[in-house]
Chain A
Amino acid sequence: MILNALRDSLWLTVKLLLIILPLTISYEFLKERGLFRGTKPFFFVGITRPGLLPLVTGVIIGLTYGAGVIIHAIKEHKLGKREVFLILLFLSVCHAIFEDTLLFVVIGANGLIVVVARLILAAVFTYLAYRSRLFEG
């Protein structure tokens, strides 16, 4: 059982390197081109432009692989606690939408319903948290 954990951990390290290295490298090149500047909330859920990168990263590749990139972007752009909470709230409900969904589509689930429902729920609840100021993170 410890062997299992070790094997999983080793495999994870390989996967992390394969996924994270290309991401962090392309991120540096995109930054060189001047993307990710600006602090105006870019859309209704109160997430700024620098916060968009961790959000999109997480929605596409998931929390486990995206988290490192997310944590890095949060530190580099000094995102506020509140925005970090909003990003994580959105991501908690909606991340790795392709991988998670396809796994179930293979055994007969309706993928469209799952993706749309997760996106809507994430957006609505992030917006509510943003507007109500109930959660200050």
Chain B
Amino acid sequence: MEIGKPLQRGLTNGLSITFMMVKVIVPCYIAIEIIKHSGLIDIISRACTPFMSIFGLPGEAALCLVAGYIINIYAAIAVLTPLGLPAKDVTVIALMLGICHSLTIETPITKKTGANASLLLLVRIALSLFSGVVLHLLWK
């Protein structure tokens, strides 16, 4: 088996892919920093607080979910850990955020593949909410 050519092709592809991804993601990072400092996350999570009981979660969990949806899972974990919620609540949040997170970055990435990104965005949010309700109801 030849080694030089595949190695060279792999390197070239890897570099061009990395460059392409950096171009997509860097503006998203800047957008995230702006969103973090704008107070938008607080406003949205305050609006969502009364609905948290649908998922059997305390109102404080709204901030965790919204931060996970808009920023990323690490931001959500940072908010979630001090709350010290029981295993059931953490699992519900893990499932909801597993399905739907980092939307500011992942939606532009999805778009880059040519798929219908806004439809997939809606599917993710809907499935996330749906799975949260179902898991809460099943886990008695």
Do the beta carbons of A28 and B7 come within 8 Å of each other? yes
Do the beta carbons of A5 and B6 come within 8 Å of each other? no
B140: Cβ under 8 A from any A Cβ: no
Do the beta carbons of B115 and A137 come within 8 Å of each other? yes
Interface hits, B1-53 → A, CB 8 Å? 1-2, 6-7, 9-11, 13-15, 17-18, 20-22, 25-26, 29-30, 32-34, 36-37
A-B contact number at CB 8 A: 177
Q: Which residue of B7, B109, B123 is within 8 Å of A25 (Cβ)?
A: B7
Taking CB atoms, residues of chain B closer than 8 Å to A17 are 14-15, 18
Taking CB atoms, residues of chain A closer than 8 Å to B97 are 100, 104
CA–CA, A85 and B118, complex, Å? 12
CA–CA, A67 and B20, complex, Å? 10
Residue of B nearest to A65 (CB): B21
CA–CA, A114 and B99, complex, Å? 9
Interface size on B, residues (CB 8 A): 58
Is the contact region of chain B dominated by helix, strand, or loop, or is it mixed? helix
Taking CB atoms, residues of chain A closer than 8 Å to B112 are 67, 71
Q: Which residue of A21, A70, A111 is within 8 Å of B11 (Cβ)?
A: A21
CA–CA, A110 and B9, complex, Å? 42
Do the beta carbons of A24 and B22 come within 8 Å of each other? no
Interface hits, A28-75 → B, CB 8 Å? 28-29, 31-33, 63-64, 67-72, 74
Q: Which residue of A24, A104, A107, A118 is within 8 Å of B13 (Cβ)?
A: A24
Given contacts A104-B93, A117-B131, contact A21 B10 (CB under 8 A): yes
CA–CA, A104 and B87, complex, Å? 10
CA–CA, A2 and B32, complex, Å? 10
Q: What's the least CB distance linking B101 to chain A, in Å?
A: 7
Interface hits, B44-103 → A, CB 8 Å? 73-74, 77, 80-81, 85-87, 90-91, 93-95, 97-99, 101-102
User: What residues of chain A have their CB less than 8 Å away from a CB belonging to chain B?
Assistant: 1-2, 4-5, 8-9, 12-13, 16-17, 20-21, 23-29, 31-33, 63-64, 67-72, 74, 81, 84-85, 87-89, 92-94, 97, 100-101, 103-105, 107-111, 113-114, 117-118, 121, 125, 135, 137
